[in-house]
Structure 1
């Protein structure tokens, strides 16, 4: 296994980032699978088994499902979603280490990657909370505007999707910065904005392609699950199979995006600063 070229590229390349993402996954599939299995697949599987059982009860014609049960389902789902999001950030931290090691021509160590993720837990969690709070406030503001002035507010909400997407792209490498450079939560976000400046539309194109593929796969899976219920319900074995399929799909997508974020960070460091992969790896030694 050899490291990628260390010469400084002129600009961020969507094709190179896309190719390096899947090259990393192909070369280091086993450690990557172990990391996402621990942080994502297993927790998602436990939640999905429970969730699909509740959905199946709701979907059965003539079945009664009390309002309190619905409220309980919503509360558990919200808590589970937050837990899974936190674990996803931890997985991304571990995958940053694995990606840099792979690109440097080494075989990532599962234990080492997990240690890096745990060491970076607080700043990673802080970045996640900043993003969640910011998106919640934006959603609340747009909801109020839309309700106050329906037509104009709807147009404003639609037009705001572009700047929101660009803001998310601008902070997309904040977790790799926090793991690699350890400057703190807000400094990591600021550093990410500096690194992505001038490359945001190309980064957007990369994640747009990955997002479209992910949405397409999710839609297909959802339609198949709904068709199974509509055809006469779904058995316990079917629920377990659906839960496993959904868990695998979500964690595979999450893993690909996390590796792509790490690859994007490495590429941006090379483009803007000429930093080689072996120099990036030195901080962990």
Structure 2
């Protein structure tokens, strides 16, 4: 016979609390982003340089004209015109490079004509995201402007430190806004919000990647462009050095945001390269 105690239900063992699996969202691989940035650039040095040269052709032509008519050019007006031209062409190149880099990430060759076409189509979205990004920095700019107006240099220097820190944090947060606007076809401010979401947990690494890529790219380009400066005369050396540096540096600057966006979408949302690049099909 069974005792009354045996017929009582036994208590279930206390459930073991399992730790939620750690997502990879905060584990952006620093070395992988750096290596793929430069490997993508090296493998596509000729097409990317041709792409940048074609896009920057108006800037190059204007620079030649200014060099030949230096005595007739108003320096202030020249600075404004140069900034407008390079800025507008920069949007075009960034949009085209987003397509070109995604083609590489999914193992396909870069088609220069297609990249130019896709880039031209995406310019309005890229421009909108850039304007929204500038507006996000407006409070910091106003703080510095007001401080410079009412305070002395010592106070301005003191205020500049926290403003620079906050500005750097904000830059890392909105680092992917243009990629979001072009690839996900979102509005300007929605692209900013989405960039904040995708960069959460990886902003320090984004900052480090920007620093390392900037240093390495500058060193490489100095070595590449230096022969031009050596064989040219003094005036032409400075001109060619600046022009070549601008055209060669532009593609490198456009690659890291695309690689980081690609990795962030993969790690946070499990989307592969083909799905991400399908938006361009």
Aligned: 1:17 with 2:33: yes
Q: Distance in 1 between matches of 2:169 and 2:129?
A: 17
Distance 1:46 1:241, change over 3 A: farther
Q: Distance in 2 between matches of 1:215 and 1:155?
A: 30
TM norm structure 2:
0.79
Structure 2: give runs of 5+ residues left out of the alignment: 1-22
The correspondence for 1:261, drawn from 253, 257, 264, is 257
Distance 1:206 1:54, change over 3 A: farther
Aligned: 1:184 with 2:187: yes
Distance 1:166 1:238, change over 3 A: same
- The question of whether the paired residues in 2 share the 8 Å contact of 1:172 and 1:192 is answered with yes
1:44 to partner: Cα distance: 3.8
Aligned partner of residue 49 in structure 1, secondary structure: helix
1:162 to partner: Cα distance: 1.2
Q: Distance in 2 between matches of 1:74 and 1:97?
A: 35
- The question of whether the paired residues in 2 share the 8 Å contact of 1:93 and 1:124 is answered with yes
TM norm structure 1:
0.78
- The question of whether the paired residues in 1 share the 8 Å contact of 2:183 and 2:279 is answered with yes
1:73 to partner: Cα distance: 1.8
The residue aligned with 1:172 is 175
Q: CA RMSD in A?
A: 3.1
- The question of whether the paired residues in 1 share the 8 Å contact of 2:95 and 2:182 is answered with yes
The residue aligned with 1:246 is 242
The residue aligned with 1:94 is 96
Structure 1: give runs of 5+ residues left out of the alignment: 1-7, 58-68, 229-234
- The question of whether the paired residues in 2 share the 8 Å contact of 1:14 and 1:206 is answered with yes
The residue aligned with 2:16 is none
- The question of whether the paired residues in 2 share the 8 Å contact of 1:54 and 1:73 is answered with no
